[in-house]
Structure 1
């Protein structure tokens, strides 16, 4: 070949680096031109056009492994290939938007880990119960644990609690339970509340807030214990309340886990 430009010049004209041009050669996207009498490879106008086409497709998001076939295809196959690439790019865009939205939700804490409908219900109930921000966080974390440990029973659990909260007596018990978090463990009101809670669920066993599917698992006791422990380190009275409540249910023949 007479004339032409060096690889460095071709790279500059095409808007890429020399390393990139060599990478294209390695992947078979463009043939290496012949050397001139001085031993230098010389790139002609056709080579430069090919480099520009490769760079454009690569920047558009076409994988290098597909660029050669696209450039060598007839016009119909070329158009169809670009449509397919566009579809995949749109899928990637949708995925990136979803990830961005997740990051934005995570900026508000663990709210991103629960469905919007559940968060809306929790916010309403928390307002009715007069929850503090810490109470709301603890309740939300408990729901996150249930969703992670018994995903198949999460919707059933939420539905049970929602139905129960429609009963003024249960609503009152829940309010007392959250107040009990500030009591001393040996406060006699703990024993009274455990009895009242047990009596309520013995009368309404279908509302017992145990996620569906939990008892069918071989490791049900481990999962139940993890759920049961939530919040008890910070609220010692809850530990005794839970123990008394469960003892009363078991003595009445209710198998918790």
Structure 2
């Protein structure tokens, strides 16, 4: 190969584009060959070997900015640098895998925003006779709880799971939902609030807040946004929830107060 190859031939043989070869030249990764008598740059075997090295390292994920020093490094440093590249590639693969999994969860509705345990709770609601609107409200509340009050998300789920396992709690919840059609001053709301609070107090351990949660300056606001979600759509439900919380506080349960 005494006459050498044109840049187009060299690029084709190595498996890159002419633009890529010129980019390697600009970065100083591959020296530009001298021009021959006809004014063309001719790539000899040494040039092609360097191009292959750069292309291979770049294809393996080594940043272009590091390739020049790497090719000029001693064997020990070369091996150490490759180990570092391997570590970074592994991290990138893990990140891409996590992104792929999130995209997959998008195909499954709730699973994009909630863990499987929360989705299992939502899946139970229709079979227990709850309306699609209630399920949607609970879905929103769970997403908000996971985002705004992650400290109590697991305990919130535990309380929901426990209530769904108790037929009496299910019926009381449905009774509370009926209140949305009542006048906010309906005396039945007080009765339902007392009954719901009394049922919750039967398992006081499920109502406990994590240590230090109350001391956080924004705890009450975050908790309130979740616990009073959608109340603006039903004034009677707002009064019911307020009365339930008041009954719990009167019984010694330390609920964040806005």
Q: TM-score, normalised by structure 2?
A: 0.79
SS in 2 for 1:42: coil
Give the aligned partner of residue 14 of structure 2.
14
In the alignment, the residues of structure 1 paired with residue 175 and residue 212 of structure 2 have an alpha-carbon distance, to the nearest angstrom, of: 28
- Distance in 2, Cα, partners of 1:211 & 1:191: 29
- Specify the SS of the correspondent of 2:94: helix
- 1:35 is aligned to 35
Distance in 2 of aligned mates of 1:16 and 1:162: 58
Match of 1:185 in 2: 184
What's the CA shift for 1:47?
0.7
CA separation in 1, counterparts of 2:241 and 2:36?
87
Unpaired runs of 5+ in structure 2?
A: none
- Give a deviation string over 1:151-170, Cα, whole Å, max 9, x none: 12222232234345444443
Instruction: Give how far 1:31 is off.
Output: 1.8
* Shift, 1:41, TM fit: 3.2
Residue 22 of structure 1: how far off its partner (Å):
2.4
Contact persistence 1:182–1:237 (CA under 8 A): yes
User: Does 1:133 pair with 2:132?
Assistant: yes
Aligned-pair CA distance for 1:30: 1.4
Query: In the alignment, what sits opposite 1:246?
Result: 245
Larger mean CA deviation between 218-227 and 206-215 belongs to 206-215
CA distance in 1, matches of 2:79, 2:254: 65
What pairs with 1:218-237 in structure 2 (closer than 5 Å)? 218-237=217-236
Native 8 Å contact 1:146 1:227 kept in 2: yes
Q: Distance in 1 between matches of 2:242 and 2:79?
A: 69
1:105 maps to 105
Post-superposition shift, 1:229?
Answer: 2.8
The Cα RMSD (Å) is 3.2
1:115-154 mapped onto 2 (5 Å cutoff): 115-124=115-124, 126-154=125-153
What is the deviation of 1:230?
A: 0.8
Distance 2:161 2:210 in 1: 13
Shift of 1:201: 3.8
Name the TM-score, length of structure 1 as normaliser: 0.79
- Partner deviation per Cα, 1:159-196 (whole Å, 9 max, x = no partner): 23434544444333223223334444344432321121
Contact persistence 1:153–1:213 (CA under 8 A): no
